[in-house]
Chains A and B, each alone.
Chain A
Amino acid sequence: MVTGTARKTPTARESLLDLLSSIKDPELPVVDIVELGIVRDIIVDGDSVQVDVTPTYSGCPAMQVIEQDIVQALEADGFTNVKVRYVFSPPWTTDWLSDRTKTKLRESGIAPPMAIEGAEMNDLVTLRRTRKTISCPYCGSANTEVKSEFGSTACKAIHYCNSCHQPFDYFKDF
């Protein structure tokens, strides 16, 4: 609730991070934006605050919703001037997801991203390149195959489990 008076909570960065942890990724509601690693910095100056965020993918449509959610949450906390700034360097990577976050993804039926490999250029164009084994988030089987590297959102790929015959999303390593 915007009161126009002094803010209710302390200015400590940690407490604001806690506050931003209440904002979920709209396309991935099991994960919040701090866990996702897109909140890069918070700069407080009196009743003004700037939040630096980095987009996951260039065209991610969830970014606009997330920006609105950040502004709303901080204004409700008493800030009168909230600015969301986009930063692009260093680029977001799925290596920033913690093990705890990866477990949450798996529990919700999304295979978490593997660690990034330093793939050679030639690996890009080899039809029968060695693919990483993605374990099924439902039954744990390694007998899975990729159906398409582009799925329901920019960050997911479509996979299929040959053991439990269940299609599932893989959170792409990126």
Chain B
Amino acid sequence: MTETTSTSGNDDVLEYLLRLGDDRLVLGHRLSEWCGHGPILEEDIALANISLDLIGQATLYLGLAGETEGKGRDADSLAYFREGVEFRNLQIVELPKGDFAFTIARQFLFDVFSLHQLEQLQKSANKELAGIASKGYKEVRYHVRHSSEWLQRLGDGTAESHSRAQKALDELWRFTGEMFVGDDVDQRLGAAGVAPDLGEIQAKWRAMVSDVIQRATLSIPSDTFMMAGGRSGRHTEHLGHMLSEMQIVARSHPGAAW
């Protein structure tokens, strides 16, 4: 009985680490699609830098996930050799990059979530997880500054940038509810002091997001139907297409090194 309990606790941690890693891996890949296509040189570099931070964070979470699982899988094998249904990321991060306003709005909505999530995770009872989160937290502070300032410039810029930013927020809003939908894993890890309380994160997210949207002279979309399912492997049609591109080299040349 004791053994069963401890194994299931381990499974929860593994599941949770995959969620943290996959959010950042998928979003990092989406951002990397801007490399060479940014609206101005400095912004091209900024998006590539943020992408690198996110993929770096993903590597750490997935590496720890592999160790936790104990079956010899490392970060690369988890990133490149899992199918779409095995990915645990939020649907919002897998949507195609869209125009610059869409990329910035999505980044902003996720950055603020990530900021408050990592702030809490620094206190996690899982010390390895807490250490990785404390590094990511410092990086995400720069990310929030970047995306919140851009959202304000777009919203308070020209009529066209304003309407594109508003359209992006309206399209993205139904994907934000999923960030705060907890399941049994969240509950058990919350009770064990490993994972933070999603309700608390939601309140802080809501306050900061509303503040910036108002400063940007944009309107907060109304809460209607919310998409969900990414955490249990149900994804939009976009993830598969993205993974086929992201994974093809590793799958065509398994074990290749250079």
A-to-B contact residues, CB < 8 Å: 55, 57-61, 87-93, 119, 121-122, 124-125, 127, 147-152, 154, 158, 172, 174
The segment from B131-139, B174-182, B191-199 that touches chain A is B131-139
Are A154 and B135 interface neighbours, CB within 8 A? no
Are B131 and A91 interface neighbours, CB within 8 A? yes
B-to-A contact residues, CB < 8 Å: 42-43, 45-46, 48-50, 52-57, 59-60, 115, 127-128, 130-132, 134-136, 138-139, 141-142, 144-146, 148-149, 152-153, 208, 211-212, 215
Are B139 and A57 interface neighbours, CB within 8 A? yes
Further pairs besides A88-B128, A127-B148: 15, Cβ < 8 Å: A57-B135, A57-B139, A58-B135, A58-B136, A59-B57, A88-B132, A121-B208, A124-B115, A124-B141, A125-B149, A148-B42, A148-B43, A150-B142, A152-B45, A154-B53
Bound form: Cα–Cα A112–B5 in Å: 51
10 A-B pairs with the lowest CB-CB distances in the bound complex, closest first: A59-B56, A88-B131, A58-B56, A89-B131, A150-B46, A150-B49, A148-B42, A59-B52, A125-B148, A58-B57
User: Which residue of the partner chain A has the closest CB to B207?
Assistant: A121
Q: A58-B59, A89-B131 are in contact. Are A151 and B45 (CB under 8 A)?
A: yes
Bound form: Cα–Cα A154–B131 in Å: 19
Q: DSSP majority for the B interface? A: helix
User: Which residue of the partner chain A has the closest CB to B150?
Assistant: A127
Bound form: Cα–Cα A60–B55 in Å: 10
Q: DSSP majority for the A interface? A: loop
Are B42 and A127 interface neighbours, CB within 8 A? no
- Residues in B with CB closer than 8 Å to A174 are 138
Are B145 and A154 interface neighbours, CB within 8 A? no
Are A58 and B134 interface neighbours, CB within 8 A? no
Minimum Cβ distance to chain A for residue B58 (Å): 9
Are B208 and A125 interface neighbours, CB within 8 A? yes
Are A150 and B135 interface neighbours, CB within 8 A? no
- Residues in B with CB closer than 8 Å to A154 are 49, 52-53
Are B46 and A90 interface neighbours, CB within 8 A? no
Are B57 and A124 interface neighbours, CB within 8 A? no
- Residues in A with CB closer than 8 Å to B152 are 127
Most B-side CB within 10 Å, residue of A121, A124, A147 = A124
Name A57's contact: one of B56, B141, B208 (CB within 8 Å): B56
Name B42's contact: one of A55, A57, A87, A158 (CB within 8 Å): A158
- Residues in B with CB closer than 8 Å to A87 are 131
Q: A150-B46, A151-B45 are in contact. Are A59 and B55 (CB under 8 A)?
A: yes
- Residues in B with CB closer than 8 Å to A92 are 135
- Residues in A with CB closer than 8 Å to B115 are 124
Minimum Cβ distance to chain A for residue B217 (Å): 12
- Residues in B with CB closer than 8 Å to A91 are 131, 134-135, 138
Q: A148-B43, A150-B46 are in contact. Are A59 and B134 (CB under 8 A)?
A: no
- Residues in B with CB closer than 8 Å to A172 are 142
